[in-house]
A and B are shown apart, each in its own frame.
Chain A
Amino acid sequence: MAELQLRSVEKTYGNGFKAVHGINLDVKEGEFMVLVGPSGCAKSTTLRMIAGLETISCGEVRIGDQIVNDLVPGKRGIAMVFQNYALYPHMKVHRNLSFGLRLRGASRQTIQSSTDTVSGILEIEELLDRLPKQLSGGQAQRVALGRALIKQPEVFLFDEPLSNLDAKLRASMRVRITDLHKRLRDEGRPATVVYVTHDQVEAMTMGDRICVMKDGHIMQVADPVTLYERPANAFVAGFIGMPEMNLVDAVLTRQDGVPSLTVEGQTIAIPDGLGKRIVGPDGPVRLGIRPQHLDLVAPDTPGAFTGTVANVEFMGHESNLYLRVGEADFVAVTPAEARFGQPARGDRIGLRPQGQKLHLFTAGDNGGNISLGTQHLQGGNDDNAYHSRTRAHDNSAGDDKLGRGTPHELVGR
C-alpha cells in the first residue's frame, strides 16, 4: 500500500474545456478518501486520471514514490471498481477474478490460491463457475470488488460502485466495503482507497476523509465531523447535511464590539463565543444555520426570526417546517413528538438559531466561512480528540487558484 499525491493536476479537453483546475490532494497510506460533489464536478475525471484512463494535461500524480503520469493503467499499481461492474461478460467469475493475474503470467498455483482467498473474503465461492449474466447486482458488485482485491494493488479506486444497486443492497454493500477496509487495516495490510460518489450519505459514512469538489476545484478536504461542523465555505455547508443548511443573505454589524446580524429587517445578537470567532469586516454576509439547529419559539421572541409557516412535511420521526421570513426561506427540523400543537401552514411563529451553531460566510455562492475563528490559522482549535487526530490531514486540502480550498487560506485573504 502506498500514499497517493496529486500536485496541481489539471485536465483540459481537446475542445479547450477545462474540467479540472490544478488540484492538490494527499491521500495517506491506508486512508479511505471519498471524492464527493454534484454531477459535473470532475470527481470521476480526477479518479480516471489517477487510474490512467484519462490523460493528465498538467501537474503530476504520484503513487508511493513514483510519478505515474506516463505509466499505463496496468503499471500503476491500482485496481478499479466501476459503476456498472464492468465484468467480462464472456468469462466465468473465476476467470474474471484471475484475468489480471493471468496477464501477468502468474502460476496456476498462485492464481488458484488467490482466487480461493478472495472468494472466501467476499463469500462468492459458490459463484465461481457462473457467468456475469447469471449474477444479481449485489453479487456482480462483489465479484468486481474481488477482481480489484486479488491484484493486491497499491491504491483502490472506486467509481460510484454502489449507484446501480437498490437502497437496501447499497446500505449493506457500504458496510461490507468499510468492514473490508477496516479488516485489511487490522490485518496489517492497509488499503489506500479513493472512492468517488455523489451520495453524501456514502461519503459521510465511509470516508476517513472527504474531498468535496465543485466545477473541477476542491472545496474542502476534511474528516466527516469537521466537514459537517466546520464547513470551509457556503458550498460545502450547503452540500453536506440533510435537509440542506439554510443559507440566507444577512448584514453583519458590530456596535461597541458586539456583533449582530440582520436578516430581512430582523436583527439577532450573536452570542459571545461565536462573536469572537468572526473575522472580517461588517457588511453583507451569508448566514448559515442547519435545520436541526433551529428551535421553535413564540413569535417576536428576542434572538429569533419571526415569519409565516409556508409548509410542514411530516416525515415520521421528525417534521420539516418551512418558514418564510420576508424574502428569506428557512427550513427547520422539529422532533416528531412535538407534532401536536405544531404550527400549521399560515401560522406566525419564531425560529431561534442555537447561537454557537451559526455559520457566517462571505457573500456569494462559494463564500468562505468567516466564523471559524483565528485559532484555525494555527492549524485547528479543536479540543475534540478525533479532530486533533486528523488535523494533519486537513492541511493537505488545497485549491491554490481559487484560494478558497482551506479555512486557512480563506481567513488569510
Chain B
Amino acid sequence: MSTLTEIPLTPAALSDAPTALQIKLRKRARFNAFVRYALLTIVGFIMIYPLLWLIGASFKTNGEMFSSAWFWPRNPTVQGYVDGWQTSTPYTFATFFLNSMQIAIPKVIGTAISSTLVAYGFARFDFPGKKILFAILIATLLLPDVVTRIPQYLLFRELGWLDTYLPLFVPQWFAWEAFFVFMLVQFLRAIPREMEEAARVDGANTLQTLIFIVVPMLMPALVSVCLFQFMWTMNDFLGPLIYISTVEKYPISLALKLSIDATEAFNWNQILAMTVLALTPSLVVFFLAQKSFIEGISTGGTKG
C-alpha cells in the first residue's frame, strides 16, 4: 500500500506560484466575504441602534435629546440618573425595584416548581384522561390573555386580593403558563428514561427521582423557563396596572409610566435613564444564564 508521501506530486503542486485560476478564486472568495460581513454589520448595527441610542440618550441633557439622531452625547451627564432615581413621588426608584422583585421572585420560583411537577406528570406517567388534559393544556396556549382578564379580576376581587401582589404570582404557582409546561414536557421526552429507572432500582421514590435525577437533567430548560418568566414579569405592564392601585406598591413598569404622567414637560433623559436601569436586571440575568438558556431552548439537548 502506498503512503501519502509516495504519491507523486502534480506539477501544479510542485511549483509555489499559484495559478491564474487559483488567484481568481481567492480574490472572489475575499470579495464575497467582504460583502457578507459588510451587509451583516450594517443590518446588525441598524437593529441594535435603538438600544445604543437609548443608552446614549440617557447621558444626554434634555435639550440635546431630539436635536440629533446620533446616539453619542455631546456633553455626557449623569443628571438624568440622579434626578430619575428620585422620581416625582415620595419614593425613590429603589422602592419600585424592590416591588418588582417582590412579584418576580415568587413568580419565577412558583413557575419553575409547578411547571416541573406538571410536566413530569405528563411526560412520564400514564393516567386516565391524560390525552384530553394535555390537549386542554395546549389549547390554553391559544387562548388570548385578555379574554381571561375580566373573570380573573372578578375572582381576585372576591378573594380580596386587589392592590396586592397575589394576583400577579399566585396563578403561576399552579402551572398557569402552559407554554412552560409544554416546553418542559418536550425537553423531558428527549431525556432517556433509563436514568430514572436506574434511580428507582437504586431505591428512589418518585419525588426523590424527580428532585435528584430529573431536575438536574432538566436544568437547562428550567433556566430558560426562569429567564423567560423573569423577563416577562419585569416587562409586564398590564397586570400591575389592573391590580395595583397604590403608588407605593408600583413595580418598575408602572413607575416608568408614572414619570411620563407626572409632569407636563417630560424629562426624557430621566425616563430613558430609568429605562436603562429597568433593563439591567433582565440583561444581567440573561448573560449569567446564557449558556444554559441556549442549551435549554434548543431542545433535545442531552447526550445519550
Contact = CB atoms under 8 A, between A and B. Distances in A.
A84 to B, nearest CB: 6
Contact of B197 (A14, A82, A99): A82
A79 B192 CA distance: 19
Interface string B270-304: 00000000000000000000000000000000111
A89 interface: yes
Nearest to B126: A14
Contacts of B201: 51-53, 73-74, 78-80, 100
A80 B198 CA distance: 7
A75 B304 CA distance: 28
Interface in A39-77: 51-53, 72-75
Contact of B202 (A14, A53, A83, A103): A103
A72 B192 contact: no
Contact of B213 (A52, A72, A88): A88
B133 interface: no
A82 B192 CA distance: 12
A326 B302 CA distance: 56
Interface in A295-354: none
B110 to A, nearest CB: 24
B195 A103 contact: no
Contacts, number: 70
B195 A88 contact: yes
Contacts of B304: 84
B90 to A, nearest CB: 49
B200 interface: yes
A168 B119 CA distance: 42
A107 to B, nearest CB: 16
A104 interface: yes
Contacts of A147: 198, 202
Nearest to B196: A86
Contact of B200 (A53, A104, A133): A53
Given A82-B194, A89-B195, A100 B303 contact: no
Contacts of B302: 89
Contact of B303 (A72, A88, A133): A133
Most A-side CB within 10 Å, residue of B203, B204, B216: B203
B215 to A, nearest CB: 9
Interface in A93-131: 99-100, 103-104
Contact of A74 (B192, B194, B195, B203): B203
A39 B302 CA distance: 27
Nearest to A133: B303
Contacts of A87: 195, 198
A218 B211 CA distance: 40
A151 interface: yes
Contacts of B205: 72, 74
Most B-side CB within 10 Å, residue of A52, A74, A75, A83: A74
Interface band, chain A: 20 to 34
Contacts of B194: 82-84, 86
B206 to A, nearest CB: 9
B208 interface: yes
A74 B74 CA distance: 71
Given A80-B198, A82-B194, A100 B213 contact: no
A389 interface: no
Contacts of B204: 74, 99, 103
Nearest to A14: B126
A90 interface: yes
B77 to A, nearest CB: 49
B113 interface: no
A90 B217 contact: yes
Interface in B181-204: 192, 194-195, 197-204
A99 B216 CA distance: 14
B216 A100 contact: no
A99 B200 contact: no
A84 B202 CA distance: 16
Nearest to B194: A86
Contacts of A72: 200, 205
Contacts of A82: 194, 197-198
A151 B192 CA distance: 23
Contact of B199 (A51, A83, A99): A99
A89 B303 contact: yes
Interface in B155-203: 192, 194-195, 197-203
A84 B192 contact: yes
A99 B208 CA distance: 11
Nearest to A74: B203
Contacts of B202: 74, 99-100, 103, 147, 151
A149 to B, nearest CB: 13
A151 B212 CA distance: 18
A45 to B, nearest CB: 13
A193 to B, nearest CB: 15
A74 B217 contact: no
Contacts of B216: 88-90
Contacts of B203: 73-75, 100, 103-104
Contact of A89 (B197, B199, B217): B217
Contacts of B219: 90
Contacts of A52: 200-201
Q: Which 6 pairs from chain A and chain B are nearest by CB?
A: A74-B203, A100-B202, A86-B194, A90-B216, A86-B198, A73-B201
Interface of A: 14, 51-53, 72-75, 78-80, 82-84, 86-90, 99-100, 103-104, 133, 147, 151
8 contacts: A73-B197, A79-B201, A87-B195, A87-B198, A88-B216, A99-B202, A103-B203, A104-B203
Given A89-B217, A147-B198, 8 more contacts: A51-B201, A52-B201, A53-B201, A72-B200, A74-B200, A82-B197, A90-B217, A104-B203
